Structure 1
């Protein structure tokens, strides 16, 4: 029966069904499906064609369970973090060619990190890749006593102990943003903070350090913010009510920056003529033509490749020391930054 004609109660095709269809033994079908030697090229082609005809798919999960391996990498991610979607895509791209599958578990306002991790452990994941976890470092180290743990996009203090860390140099990214704005003539540069979000403290510190480096310590202005558009919009409303207004804003992330852009637009403030805006992360949204946001790009490909290869190295028995890998970010200049004009220029 072709797969398109199978009803919801139809029996899943088996190796024996493929063998009947191809006119060979079940043992020979097993050899072909396992990709081992013992079948001619013609037989292999006939078996694979028969499997496709009847909709047979190898049950890799069952085979791995029999071998006492799941080859599953558990990934905890945040639904409120658009950047995490880019990281998940990169993890799939790195894991599947290496013979590992990915199990996802989301953190949401109604679903805690502990719940997300417990679900992954229940799925028999062999290692965990945690995207921006907010759990205490001590709890992460206890978890890493059970299985390899790779923490992505968060610095761990004190030193990570038995937890691997792969992160962006967030402070360096904030410095690049401030350097760019200062080079364009801005002096009154505000920063919309990320609160307790992973990376926020480093970005805040990088902003302050860069402002002081340019002798602009008296212009330092950090506003409470967060991860979302609403957080950016609320901070932008505070800025609009302040005097003097800043000529430039560095938002915690791109999502927050879009909230800033929307609020400025609705208030009749032009970007970048009156206020320049810089985001952080370079999510897909930032490059859309109607947003075209200047931002700090995190190298998602390198971050995820390091995270996956680190986890697999532990699982494959390589004597890899636990370490922190720090990836440099870089500035992407688009249309939301420009030289300040007229009386908006800070003197």
Structure 2
């Protein structure tokens, strides 16, 4: 069956195609009666505007490309929030994923080939020079990562401050032997590790610094648990790089019969949907994903629709969400 066209709606409503176009765009001119006739005709015929053709005629795609790591539950939450914020401004998204076998460069190339007007990169790992080169082609917003790249807007949480809040919370409960499960070599992991080290020293706990190597995955937390449990002096609390690592840590502790938070308190980072599950109930640092994504989309809209040219960085204060995995130490 042939798809209804603009001319079909015009014939059905007894008006010109130009009038139908004005009504469907919500433009002034047609009377209320004419608008009602056109909308009724469009509904009866099942007419849907050819959005792609319309945008092409205006040389606009109104598509925002988003690069996400498919393995990250926090990125999944961010994408949901980006969708909502983009739709409020009349934009749609094209997603491109980073996987075990597909790197960030390939993901970006796919979005460029898809005629995206701007890129929102979630926790990008690309060097600053590569990001600057991209920004010379189209607006680029880096979410979650501090980066000094010419032309790139940055929207991020203060990661060092977030980890410091976790350390302060644990120290306030009476913990002194507080360890950190690292997230690897990336810039976000570096900021969180430095935040942990500075907070421990501010609290006079520098002699108890303990950083265990890891990565963003759950298995990293499980490996860290085995390392920590094998230490001569076990920590009474652990701050993990992210929620996934913290969940892996919790699982390994549970399997070894270690009570949480009785024997070991655990704090994650991201306040992902995983952390809120009743059987996990993880104390974690929230980055306020909705605020991060609103600001990221606003940065895109200011570039594309309002002509902003100056570079901008916005830092969103994180906050600790206390749940059931932290409590006072049972012994010093």
Q: TM-score, normalised by structure 1?
A: 0.91
Name which of structure 1's ranges 273-282 and 238-247 shifts more when overlaid on structure 2.
238-247
How far residue 226 of structure 1 moved from its aligned partner, in angstroms, is 1.1
Picking from 64, 72, 94, the partner of 1:81 is: 72
Which position in structure 2 is the counterpart of 1:306? 295
Deviations 1:164-185 (A, max 9, x none): 1111100000100000000001
Superposed counterparts of 1:1-347, under 5 Å? 10-156=1-147, 159-341=148-330, 345-346=331-332
How far residue 97 of structure 1 moved from its aligned partner, in angstroms, is 1.5
| Structure 2 Cα separation of the partners of residues 14 and 197 of structure 1 | 51
User: Are the aligned partners of 2:285 and 2:319 in contact in 1 as well (CA < 8 Å)?
Assistant: yes
Deviations 1:58-94 (A, max 9, x none): 1222101101111211111111111111211221222
SS in 1 for 2:199: helix
| Structure 1 Cα separation of the partners of residues 303 and 222 of structure 2 | 43
| Structure 2 Cα separation of the partners of residues 99 and 250 of structure 1 | 40
How far residue 115 of structure 1 moved from its aligned partner, in angstroms, is 1.2
SS in 2 for 1:199: helix
User: Are the aligned partners of 1:248 and 1:276 in contact in 2 as well (CA < 8 Å)?
Assistant: yes
| Structure 1 Cα separation of the partners of residues 216 and 2 of structure 2 | 47
Deviations 1:217-256 (A, max 9, x none): 1111111111111111111121122222111110100111
User: Are the aligned partners of 1:232 and 1:256 in contact in 2 as well (CA < 8 Å)?
Assistant: yes
SS in 2 for 1:90: helix
User: Are the aligned partners of 2:135 and 2:150 in contact in 1 as well (CA < 8 Å)?
Assistant: no
How many residue pairs match? The answer is: 332
* Segments of 4+ moved more than 6 angstroms: none
Question: Where in structure 1 are there 5+ consecutive unaligned residues?
Answer: 1-9
Q: TM-score, normalised by structure 2?
A: 0.95
| Structure 2 Cα separation of the partners of residues 212 and 187 of structure 1 | 11
RMSD, aligned CA = 1.5
